[in-house]
Amino acid sequence: MLVEIADILTPGEAARAHAALAAAPWIDGRATAGHQSAAVKHNLQIEEGTRLHQELGDLVLGGLGRSALFIAAVLPFRVFPPLFNRYDPGMNFGAHVDNAIRQIRGTPHRIRTDVSCTLFLTPPEDYDGGELVVQDTYGEQRVKLPAGHAVVYPATSLHRVEPVTRGSRVSAFFWIQSMIRDDMQRRLLFDLDMAINGVTAELPPGHGGPVALTGVYHNLLRQWAEVA
């Protein structure tokens, strides 16, 4: 399930993050790549653990916490601390699948990467190319979003970043361990949640339908969720 999520960051927050990153030192993006990904990864990255990395990571996490759509689509249990990358002209990331397990730097903690997320920080008119291309059951989905908007998709997906041909593309990227491991179950719960919101808005107050459907939602969540 691929879901585009608007306004994880406000335009002002996205602009401040972009400006801070423009003045930051960058390292080779292969520092966080697996063995096979390193062969097709050609970008730059902010070093983990720096003050800027932590401050901007907290900014992104705050935005995620405000987004009801993100929570509904992902049902997060743990979120990997956001990373930040840049693609200059000629840079790209070839087709790959994200590592199944990620170690959180400086801690003994690991997360299972159920869902991948890219949060765009550069306005799309400021660069050419750089589309995120995700393979799913309906073919290729090409994603290039306004600054502050994000896309989430199964980490099992084969995906790539097209070469940038003008300007620079700056983004945050990270992974989520969901309470719901299975993508089809997450999709069903998301669709049910959106349907509940729709009928609640259309039916008169006190109607029993939304209450009954909400009970079904929570009983399915109770049956499927992993929270340990």
Confidence of residue 206 (pLDDT cuts 50, 70, 90): confident
98 among annotated binding-site residues: yes
pLDDT (mean) for 54-74: 98
Bridging pattern class, strands 164-166 and 110-112: unpaired
Q: Are residues 151 and 220 in the same domain?
A: no
Q: Tally the domains of the chain.
A: 2
Q: What is the pLDDT of residue 75?
A: 98
Portion of the chain with pLDDT greater than 90, in percent: 89
Q: What is the pLDDT of residue 29?
A: 87
d(CA 227, CA 194): 23
Q: Which domain holds residue 73?
A: 3-178
88 among annotated binding-site residues: no
pLDDT (mean) for 3-30: 95
- Using only C-alpha atoms, the chain has a radius of gyration, in whole angstroms, of 18
In the chain, DSSP finds a helix count (H) and a strand count (E) of 6, 17
Give tens-digit pLDDT for 124-140.
Answer: 999 999 999 999 877 89
d(CA 16, CA 20): 6
DSSP codes, 88-121: -TT-EEEEE---SEEEPTTSS-EEE--EEEEEE-
Give tens-digit pLDDT for 192-204.
Answer: 999 999 999 998 8
Confidence of residue 34 (pLDDT cuts 50, 70, 90): low
- How far from 118 is each of 169, 171, 173, 176, 188, CA to CA, in Å? 12, 7, 5, 11, 22
Q: Are residues 60 and 157 in the same domain?
A: yes
Q: Are residues 111 and 204 in the same domain?
A: no
Q: Are residues 190 and 151 in the same domain?
A: no
Q: What is the pLDDT of residue 125?
A: 98
Q: Are residues 153 and 193 in the same domain?
A: no
Q: In this model, does residue 211 exceed pLDDT 70? A: yes
Q: Are residues 144 and 206 in the same domain?
A: no
Beta strands in the chain (DSSP E): 3-5, 27-28, 41-42, 44-45, 76-79, 83-87, 92-96, 101-103, 110-112, 115-120, 128-129, 132-136, 139-143, 150-154, 159-161, 164-166, 169-178
149 among annotated binding-site residues: no
Q: Are residues 94 and 167 in the same domain?
A: yes
Q: What is the mean pLDDT of the chain?
A: 95
The last residue of a domain, from among 161, 178, 195: 178
Q: What is the CATH number of the domain that holds 204?
A: 4.10.860
Confidence of residue 228 (pLDDT cuts 50, 70, 90): confident
Q: Are residues 188 and 173 in the same domain?
A: no
Give tens-digit pLDDT for 148-183.
Answer: 999 999 999 999 999 999 999 999 999 999 999 999
Q: Are residues 43 and 91 in the same domain?
A: yes
